Structure 1
Amino acid sequence: MNRYLVMMFRRPHFDPAIVPLHQQFLEELRSQGRNEMSGPFGDKSGGAYLLHAESMDEARQIAHSDPAHTSGGWEITLYEWHAR
């Protein structure tokens, strides 16, 4: 599996009620062995997680099913990451 860095930034109209659903989504990924690590940025502007997937298409499909994305409250960008 490849690693993908999922960067998320809150939009001005984000709904704080979505945060627990997003956290649950990340926990489900962790239980599947797909979320290596995750966390918020210190300035509360958003956060990131390290996703394991077979391809960029699969990573995008997973990230776009995140409630943070489906709610429209976060801008999400993915990068294939070759971390060492």
Structure 2
Amino acid sequence: MKYFVVLLPMKDSDKSRDFREQHLSFLEKMRNSGRVVANGKFTDGSGGMVIYKAKSYEDCMTSVNMDPYVVEGARAYQIMEWEAVWAVNME
């Protein structure tokens, strides 16, 4: 499996607010299935980031395109494959 960092810059703050619960529910399902490793918003309000675990770029893109934020046009996205180096004692 590979890791992918997905940046979700803000496109429409009203849509982002309106579809926040659906987006968070989607991410929870993705975390529970093991397809999302971590996610969070940027404190400056400019968007957020999700770390996906997928077999390929295409598999990651399929998941990203199911995110309500992307579907509804609240956020743009950029996918980058990431060679992760993990700390032993992450908190």
Q: TM-score range by the shorter chain?
A: over 0.9
- Report SS of the residue matched to 2:77: strand
Identity of aligned residues (%): 27
Is contact 1:14-1:74 (8 Å) kept? no
1:65 match = 66
Shift of 1:12: 3.6
- Normalising by the residue count of structure 2, what TM-score does the alignment of the two structures yield? 0.88
Deviations 1:37-70 (A, max 9, x none): 1000010110001000000000001001100100
Larger Rg: 2
Deviations along 1:4-35, one digit per CA (max 9) or x if unpaired, are 00100111464111011110010000000111
Unaligned runs of 5+ in 1: none
**Count, aligned residues:** 84
| Higher share of residues assigned strand | 1
Task: Rate the CA distance shift 1:13–1:38 in 2: closer, same or farther, 3 A.
Answer: closer
Q: C-alpha root-mean-square deviation of aligned residues, in Å? A: 1.0
5+ residue gaps in structure 2? 86-91
TM-score w.r.t. length of structure 1: 0.95
Q: Which runs of 4+ in 1 moved over 2 A?
A: none
